[in-house]
Amino acid sequence: MSLAFLLPAGLAALAALVVPLLLHLARRYEQTPTDFAALRWLRQKPKPRHRIRFDEWPLLLLRLLLLALLALWLARPVLSGLDDTRPWTVAVPGVDAGLARASSDARARLHWLAPDFPSLDEPAPAGTPAIGSLLRQLDAELPTGVALTVIVPATLQGADAERPALSRAVTWQVVDGAMPASSARASPPPSLAIRHPAGDEHALRYLRAAARAWQPTGAPAVQIGTTDAPMPPPSQPLVWLAPGPVPTPVMQWISAGGVALLAHEATVDGIALSSMPWRDADGAPLVESAAHGRGRVMRFTRALRPDAMPALLDADFPRRLRALFDGPAVAPTRVLATDYAPTRGDATYPVAPRDLQPWLALLIAVLVLVERWMATRRTRSVAP
């Protein structure tokens, strides 16, 4: 345990300790001497002894202590070396708590590897924890030198794509057990908003068939209208089948966060459609795309006719069309525990010392109240 000061220059305030000393010394001269006649007949005037004397010394000591604490507060004291060095054992939810206790050190602190690291005495947290992120967080929060044991089942859920690299060696114990399956569900099919020129409906049959394949039961998730129909909300994908320049309101709708798929004959100025999210079996692009503001604009590279785009007749067309509007694929999170054991080599995280300023501030406030009470009581005692 060691005491340090983040701002040692604040100790210069200790020079103010001389102020209460001078004030208490000056109180000697508050008494006015009174002469009387008998002193005239004395042969020699007695010489009073001059010695330093402090009146109200408890009050003086309290004021000196207050100034000393204030100087320490200005110097920002911190205390290090009070960290708990007991080893830690964390168990992944799915491991039997009794088995985790039996396989850990008697001195170890037992916790679940879950957000906020609840005690192992509590029920196992629900849900799938982000194992890699939690291990990195725990490694950063534990003091250097604290041993860490992680008890895991044979198969892990919730692992990220990068094997954890920690600053300390970890005892990785694989035991019987199984984590709860991930509760992630497939995203619902998108509800397309299709806008086409009046009198031109030749491409609608393929888009209707794709929407019906997304939702075999019930009405297909598609809303069809002409180009003069109101724009859908930005959360709903748009298929714009009109040729020529895309109107400004549509481009503003895309910039606000919308996703639009344009016909081959549609044109956009100032946007380089350089990404190719869909290619045919020969590698030729079928759809090109680019970001625009907060949204995304895509365009077919061929006319929506079977002779120009044979993929319209493929059984895989509905899935490939839906993939254009779905979010990016989520990386697998299931991994064997033996393949996910942390490696050592990350930087060591220094543990922040304990700040004493709040405690000093509280002590100073209490002592100020005591000093005011003592000074007020002294004033009442000497009042006429």
Question: Taking the CA of residue 118 as centre, how many other CA atoms within 13 Å lie in the half-sphere pointing to its CB?
Answer: 13
pLDDT recorded at residue 187: 63
Helix H or strand E segment including 170:
strand 170-174
- Tokens 């040729």 correspond to 243
The Cα-based distances of 76 to 4, 81, 368, 370 in angstroms read 8, 17, 20, 24
**Does position 335 have pLDDT exceeding 90, yes or no?**
no
Under DSSP, is residue 209 helix (H, G, I), strand (E, B) or coil?
helix
Distance CA 337, CA 172 (A): 9
Distance CA 325, CA 189 (A): 9
**pLDDT band for position 294 (cuts 50, 70, 90):** confident
- For residue 111, give both structure tokens: 């916790």
Which DSSP string do the residues of 104-126 spell out, in sequence order? S-TT-EEEESSTT--BTTSPPPP
The whole-number average pLDDT for the span 325-344 is: 73
Helix H or strand E segment including 61:
helix 57-74
pLDDT recorded at residue 181: 61
* Beta strand 275-279 pairing with 266-267: unpaired
pLDDT recorded at residue 330: 47
- Tokens 């397309």 correspond to 192
Which DSSP string do the residues of 294-330 spell out, in sequence order? TEEEEEESS-SSTTT-GGGGSTTHHHHHHHHHS-PPP
- For residue 3, give both structure tokens: 């005491």
Q: For the segment 41-95, what is each residue's pLDDT rounded down to a tens digit?
A: 555 555 555 555 556 778 888 888 988 888 889 888 887 655 667 899 999 998 9
Distance in angstroms between the alpha carbons of the first and the last residue of the chain: 54
Q: For the segment 312-327, what is each residue's pLDDT rounded down to a tens digit?
A: 998 889 888 988 887 5
pLDDT recorded at residue 184: 47
Q: Which residue has the higher pLDDT, 294 or 57?
A: 294
pLDDT recorded at residue 219: 57
- Residue 60: CB atoms within 10 Å: 16
**Does position 306 have pLDDT exceeding 50, yes or no?**
yes
Give, as one character, the DSSP assignment of residue 144.
T
Which DSSP string do the residues of 264-291 spell out, in sequence order? TTEE-SS----EEEEE-TTS-EEEEEEE
Q: For the segment 216-254, what is each residue's pLDDT rounded down to a tens digit?
A: 665 557 889 999 888 888 888 999 999 999 999 999 999
- For residue 315, give both structure tokens: 């059984």
Under DSSP, is residue 37 helix (H, G, I), strand (E, B) or coil?
helix
Q: Which of 96, 268, 290, 241 is nearest to 179 (CA)?
A: 96
pLDDT recorded at residue 37: 60
pLDDT recorded at residue 151: 93
Q: Are 15 and 95 in contact (CB under 8 A)?
A: no
pTM of the model: 0.43
Q: For the segment 140-175, what is each residue's pLDDT rounded down to a tens digit?
A: 888 877 889 999 998 888 787 778 888 888 999 998
